[in-house]
Structure 1
Amino acid sequence: MIGLANGCSATWHANRIFFLTVAAYALAVVFAASHWDIPLNLRIYSRPFLLFGFGVTVILFVVIATRVMLERPARLFPTLGRRLRGYDVVNRLIVGVPVALTLPVFFSLFTSMKNGLSRIVPFYADTTIVALDRAIHGGQDAWRVLHPVLGAGPLTFALNFLYNVWFAVMFVVLFCVTFSTGDERLRSRYLVAFVLTCVLLGNAAATVFASVGPAFVMPFYGNDTFFPLMNYLQATNAVYPVWAVDTQRMLLAYAALDGPRPGSGISAFPSIHVAVAMLNAIYLWRFSSLLRWLSVAFLIAIELGSVHLAWHYAVDGYASMLATPVIWIFAGWLSGLRRWPVAATAVS
């Protein structure tokens, strides 16, 4: 019983601000869903997270076991056990598993709200955002500025590949942070910042600036402004895979259905893809120079891809790059509140 109590205390100590932030968001979602009749589904991502978590665990164990076997120890299993203990596996599980179990519920709530944003505020802001985007880019749409450089099939394919890899990068960084035990305050800051980035930008700001993005202005507004870009993407897709074209069709089909589904919900301003890439760049900046500059290059690629693939206006990404550092600072302040006397009961 003492061990269980200590484990629960350690879990709460490490994750308190994260849990409180998610709980506050859940209460807000329940209220909004009730008020605007938004369908909720808490199990959208249960299976994907289970499969991803299992896959990451297996890969990690295989890597550790392979390293041990290459050393050819006299006693394999005792050596493997010591190596696992050296990775602080028990404490990683104590602080990480509760967060890993909470994340699919959080993502399900987030997707449910994103899918129902148009019930709160109908899409209206695209015309204004397009005008702002053109004012910033010399009177042209941003995609036209980029097209002379990016408008080639292999480059479009490469950007779309990176844009899809974003999901894997997001989950890998999120899981690594979730099960980290080095810098406790940094871990809390990232997890809280991640939640706040999704909530404040992906739900709140997306509701205030309700917009659909270049790929959807024709079906939603009857506006053919981005018809040349869509024609280019569809023509390129006949030669090189441009998965964005099929995904956009899928999202449009989902928009005609009732209830959330994995990845459903149309929203342009601001860009969550860019916001998460920015958050990861901020987090990884303190590590090796390789991770630092790879994260910056990835951020740039995501911003370019978001425009070139007709997902976003350029200003959607600019707004995310400006807002995310503010959220990071705020999350750092929140994480500092963890230095309360009750934290002293946690297991070291």
Structure 2
Amino acid sequence: MFVYALVAFAAAARWNVPVNVRLYSQGFLLFGSVVTVILFAVISTRVMLERPQRLFPALRDRLVANELPNRLIIGLPVALVLPVFFSLFTSMKGGLSRIVPFYADSTIMAIDRTIHGGVDAWKILHPLLEYGPVTFVLNFFYNLWFAEMVIILFCVTFSTSNERLRSQYLVAFVLTWALLGNVAASIFASVGPAFVMPFYGDATFSPLMDYLQTTDTTYPVWALKAQGNLLADAALDGPRSGSGISAFPSLHVAVATLNAIYLWRFGGLLRWAGIAFLIVIQLGAVHLAWHYGIDGYASMLATPVIWAVAGWLSKAQRGQNRLQVENPSPL
């Protein structure tokens, strides 16, 4: 995160990108407070149901047994810098067009059609998904993406069961956002199907947008409002919460892939829930006009590589820490 911050501030100074490091401070504080209250309520309820002779000592012992002190020691430093990281990311994403003007959509569309037999990906899916209830459900889960991401992120942040796995996930998380969400998004600067008309005057995806707008009269399609907000924010100066337009690669699919990789090792329901959620996010990304099909494919290919690199970095760091313990420095 420190390296990312240095690079972000340097890029912001070079291309005059407005930066606000406090975009998500209140949101994360609110989320952390709500999660803390819920967890404490759950633990307290379980202790009270056991009817201990002395409630508060029993509650204290349960918190200690759950390694609360250790969880706070290792988790709080990460949790406190996450709002700054996300604020920097949004600031840089909002300023990508200052670094590289949007240019790649026509090329990405051509490649996407080639992959899908000469037609746009949404047209292949449309006969299966062009039903109001289906569109609504896809939009619901697409919006649920943020909650899934934050819940897993916080669970890992405060996890004490597997130090190396925790390190690998957190490093992979930061690299995914930085490399795919900022670097790759700058190299392949594109706006996505929902925005090719306002940015390029290209009506290729007008039939899909017309379907979504028609469906919105019966079943709410929240993606349309979000896309309108992004378009409005793009005309303003400075970052705002959730602002920034970028299509290739899909960060939604990348994070869903990362979480599917992480949940796979737990087996059972969590394993298949992660895979199912990834599939739904990919379908929603295309059907709701956020992304070309290839945006998600690229993320699904790149994220496992980032996961492997993060594993190597975590292994190397753990080996270095072990060496320092076995051969402590005289300092």
CA distance in 2, matches of 1:138, 1:290: 35
Deviations 1:133-169 (A, max 9, x none): 1111111111110000011000000000000000000
The residue type paired with residue 342 of structure 1 is: Q
TM-score (norm 1): 0.92
Q: Deviations over 1:267-298 (max 9, x none)?
A: 00000000000000000111131000000000
Q: Give the SS at the match of 1:123.
A: coil
Within the candidate set 24, 27, 38, 1:59 is matched to 38
Trace 1:267-346 onto structure 2 (pairs within 5 A).
Answer: 267-338=246-317, 339-340=319-320, 341-342=323-324
Unpaired stretches in structure 1, ≥5 consecutive residues = 1-21
Q: Deviations over 1:186-207 (max 9, x none)?
A: 1010000000000000000000
Counterpart residue number, 2:88: 109
Cα offset, 1:342, TM superposition: 3.4
CA distance in 2, matches of 1:237, 1:300: 23
1:234-273 to structure 2, matched below 5 A, reads: 234-273=213-252
Q: CA deviation at 1:254?
A: 0.1
| 1: CA distance, partners of 2:223 / 2:325 | 47
In structure 2, the CA distance between the partners of 1:118 and 1:59, relative to structure 1 (3 Å rule), is: same
Number of paired residues? 324
Letter in 2 for 1:296: I
The Cα shift of 1:337 comes to 2.2
Q: CA deviation at 1:258?
A: 0.3
What is the aligned partner in structure 2 of residue 171 from structure 1? 150
Cα shift at 1:77:
1.3
Give the letter aligned to residue 229 of structure 1.
L
Map of 2:60 onto structure 1: 81
Q: Structure 2: how far apart are the matches of 1:229 and 1:325?
A: 31
Amino acid at match of 2:131: A
Q: How does 1:82-231 map to 2 (within 5 A)?
A: 82-231=61-210
Q: Deviations over 1:185-230 (max 9, x none)?
A: 1101000000000000000000000000000000000000000000
Give distance in 2, aligned partners of 1:175 and 1:342: 29
CA RMSD of aligned residues (A): 0.9
Residues 92-117 of structure 1 show CA distances to partners (whole Å, capped at 9, x for unaligned) of 00000010001000000100000000
* TM-aligned CA deviation for residue 122 of structure 1: 0.4
Distance (whole Å) between structure 2 residues aligned to residue 257 and residue 143 of structure 1: 30
**Aligned AA for 2:185?**
A
Distance in 2 separating the partners of 1:343 and 1:240: 60
In the TM superposition, residue 121 of structure 1 has moved relative to its aligned partner by 0.6
Structure 1 stretches of at least 4 aligned residues deviating more than 2 Å after TM superposition: 341-345
2 CA distance for matches of 1:331 and 1:293? Answer: 23
